[in-house]
Structure 1
């Protein structure tokens, strides 16, 4: 463990003026509070400040500054890079700030900085409303949105950040600032993909959209049929309506009722089609895939929030993810994509995914982040249990990226990757955007206190 060793009296003093809860290594629930989604991250902070409000955040930051402690910020804890923890330092844990308040007349929602997408989606769904969130319900709203925010509804409603109306942040020096089109507009621009580089988000307000009907098709085939399924999926999504989303992937067949017994525990091919509309319209759109005779299928109307909970990945696994964006998918690219799936750790919850951009994603404003004209993302998402499989799982993800290089756009969606070096961070923003972000960083965090999430260095 690194960091200055704290005196118990100084921690007690912080507790005395704290509305939330201070957790240290001596507390019986320390390990449970410390645990994050990626079990490969072993960092052990000295203090976890479970903040109840913005005043708590400011107090925790002042304590870290006075004791020369490194700071990490946690909402959902899904950062595969381990940005939610810092060894020997202080974690600002916002999960107690998880309220979600919908204004149905204005079709907006205001959520606390520690809200999950389950909090957000369920509150919105009660009013027939929705906005793009993550691909599971347990991800933190703040972390995903500030990093851009890819999800199942993006082709219809844009990325999560495209629907951000305003954000409240506590800066490194304890100030509470609002960022919107009218207040700190340059900071507001930076929050649309610039991540947690500028402060701690304590509240966010989003535009919502009517979503009266939603449906899905979840289809499974044996892995050896994956190549033909991939070609069919590519062709289907080439001119797909914006209502259609989802992805094609190789995965271990899960032990669910809708998966045939002969596919459970084996490498198989799956397609999820999401549709912002009724089941009948979905069936018409997905007819070519249904005609390919999947061995297992679920085609149904479902609440969007219910889908999100259905797909939750289990915590406690070792994780390694990566991302490569490709400008086209010729047959050779599909050949490479499908062959590499056999290098996955099986059985495991890993996913070897092909995700379509397009639709409303391409209409996003000139925010920092990846090239939105690129039509496809290749996303190896590795989850496994045995440390002996580390090298194999990491090599699989890296080799899949290498396979796609002939068609790569060179950019990256940073929420999809761990620590892949400074060059990949710049590629994720674009060089001009990175320089602009560095100037914003110099204004709001000149000492680089917030340096855990794909860090932007402050401009000189």
Structure 2
């Protein structure tokens, strides 16, 4: 699992030179951003900032550095403006201002995007983080959730009512970005992806309109925003289906990593027949116990049935430890929070692990960088029932590869390890999960069979490619960026 990593001082001349160059490049971007911000009519900028219910942050402001910093510190971007929006009207004004002044726009919910799309150099960041209201409608089984809400906030608010919603597992991830790309979580094997549990949405489009999207109102937009990863507008509010669930079984069964092949073969067969109430993940890596492999489970049904269901996982070999227990759902559906760090991330989706895949995954331990994680997350039969732009509709494993570093000298090795393992899995892969892609320009791979339909909807809702800081679905009409 990912652990905190701090940058160390470089002691070799080459490393020092690299650090100096990186710092110099950062100063260049900062100066350029200040110049661009100043080049916009100052009166217009002041008027724009004054029109916001939130706050406009500019280079040189005291909060600029913290406001521009992304979760993946590999990306060091310097926007000309950061609009910390407080309401949907603010988002509309941002869209209008950016279009009038020909500014690139990036949308930020939680800032976790591994490819760095939630910021930009020299453009306008629409930061939704302050839009974090949650309203629960018990009668309708609905939670109205603004796009800046973090996953941990969502579970905590719903847990007070004995409810959950399908969402992610990292507490600081933004619900907006997570849901727009699909949204895997610990109950998705039964209830589908987060995007499949959206019942309504409020969307600001590229021309500044505020549209409602449901299965009956703008149904094509409703289909596209659930999995289309920000290509069609800024979703400012989601109506999420709520699920009565007060407790889950959660924890990990740990085996020696030397039994990696045995663990993967067994788990691959086990999930094929496991009940939908069970979602399973497998992880190993460094930092962390380098000699251990973790099978983590979440059971969202009756605990007595859960004990029977997971018994095979506890008995096919002798575990090192087992901490599975019944916990409140709002705690069980999240994992420990990671720390911000630089990393490369990519992956593959595989419906059934062939022997060659198991060999690739277990051999990945040798030759791995000093900091890495290999995580496999089960998407169960619940994903088959969804109808949205999210393309991964066959049960299987989403495999996530992360390589990080503590010094510039380790960066290339981390990137190469991720890329080599991803390529080795391509023969079995039937797609990739867009929220796990650290490389830009992989839209066709990310959206798979849905890509051509999404292009037609991009032509309709964003023909000039105004929203292009994403795994970009490029429109085919004239005038597109």
Normalising to structure 1: TM-score of the pair?
Answer: 0.91
Contact 1:337 1:403 in 2 (8 A): no
Contact 2:146 2:237 in 1 (8 A): yes
Question: Structure 1: how far apart are the matches of 2:287 and 2:309?
Answer: 25
Contact 2:444 2:451 in 1 (8 A): yes
Question: Structure 1: how far apart are the matches of 2:93 and 2:224?
Answer: 25
Matched, 1:453 2:470: yes
TM-aligned CA deviation for residue 12 of structure 1: 2.0
Matched, 1:43 2:77: yes
TM-aligned CA deviation for residue 308 of structure 1: 4.4
TM-aligned CA deviation for residue 387 of structure 1: 2.8
Determine the structure 2 residue equivalent to 1:360.
382
The counterpart of 1:116, out of the listed 140, 150, 158, is 150
- Shifted more, 206-215 versus 381-390: the winner is 381-390
Determine the structure 2 residue equivalent to 1:6.
37
Question: Structure 1: how far apart are the matches of 2:205 and 2:427?
Answer: 42
Determine the structure 1 residue equivalent to 2:400.
379
TM-aligned CA deviation for residue 278 of structure 1: 4.7
The structure-2 alpha-carbon separation of the partners of 1:70 and 1:105, relative to structure 1 and needing over 3 Å to count, comes to same
Question: Structure 1: how far apart are the matches of 2:96 and 2:229?
Answer: 22
Question: Structure 2: how far apart are the matches of 1:406 and 1:435?
Answer: 23
Matched, 1:340 2:361: no
Give secondary structure in 1 for the equivalent of 2:259: helix
The counterpart of 2:336, out of the listed 282, 291, 311, is 311
Determine the structure 1 residue equivalent to 2:424.
403
1:86-134 Cα shifts (integer Å, max 9, x gaps): 1011100011101111112221101112111112211222222222211
The structure-2 alpha-carbon separation of the partners of 1:267 and 1:83, relative to structure 1 and needing over 3 Å to count, comes to farther
**Count of aligned residue pairs for this structure pair:** 442
Determine the structure 2 residue equivalent to 1:66.
100
The counterpart of 1:440, out of the listed 457, 470, 476, is 457
The counterpart of 1:270, out of the listed 291, 294, 302, is 294
- Shifted more, 202-211 versus 84-93: the winner is 202-211
Query: Which runs of structure 2 are paired with 1:116-135 in the superposition (5 Å)?
Result: 116-135=150-169
Question: Structure 1: how far apart are the matches of 2:420 and 2:131?
Answer: 40
Give secondary structure in 1 for the equivalent of 2:254: strand
Contact 1:341 1:352 in 2 (8 A): no
Question: Structure 2: how far apart are the matches of 1:214 and 1:223?
Answer: 27
1:342-368 Cα shifts (integer Å, max 9, x gaps): 33333x3x3202222222111222x22
The structure-2 alpha-carbon separation of the partners of 1:420 and 1:198, relative to structure 1 and needing over 3 Å to count, comes to closer
TM-aligned CA deviation for residue 330 of structure 1: 2.9
The counterpart of 2:443, out of the listed 404, 418, 425, is 425
The structure-2 alpha-carbon separation of the partners of 1:368 and 1:417, relative to structure 1 and needing over 3 Å to count, comes to same
Query: Which runs of structure 2 are paired with 1:149-298 in the superposition (5 Å)?
Result: 149-252=183-286, 254=288, 263=289, 266-291=290-315, 292-298=317-323
Give secondary structure in 1 for the equivalent of 2:364: helix
The structure-2 alpha-carbon separation of the partners of 1:296 and 1:9, relative to structure 1 and needing over 3 Å to count, comes to farther
Question: Structure 2: how far apart are the matches of 1:358 and 1:290?
Answer: 20
Q: CA RMSD in A?
A: 1.9
TM-aligned CA deviation for residue 152 of structure 1: 1.5
TM-aligned CA deviation for residue 230 of structure 1: 1.9
Question: Structure 1: how far apart are the matches of 2:406 and 2:308?
Answer: 40
Contact 1:358 1:372 in 2 (8 A): no
Determine the structure 2 residue equivalent to 1:331.
355
Determine the structure 1 residue equivalent to 2:26.
none
Moved over 4 A (4+): none
Determine the structure 1 residue equivalent to 2:118.
84
TM-aligned CA deviation for residue 309 of structure 1: 4.4
Contact 1:71 1:91 in 2 (8 A): yes
Gaps of 5+ in 1: 255-262
1:395-438 Cα shifts (integer Å, max 9, x gaps): 212222222233222x22211112253xx31132235x222222
Question: Structure 2: how far apart are the matches of 1:398 and 1:274?
Answer: 30
Query: Which runs of structure 2 are paired with 1:95-114 in the superposition (5 Å)?
Result: 95-114=129-148
Gaps of 5+ in 2: 1-28
Give secondary structure in 2 for the equivalent of 1:430: helix
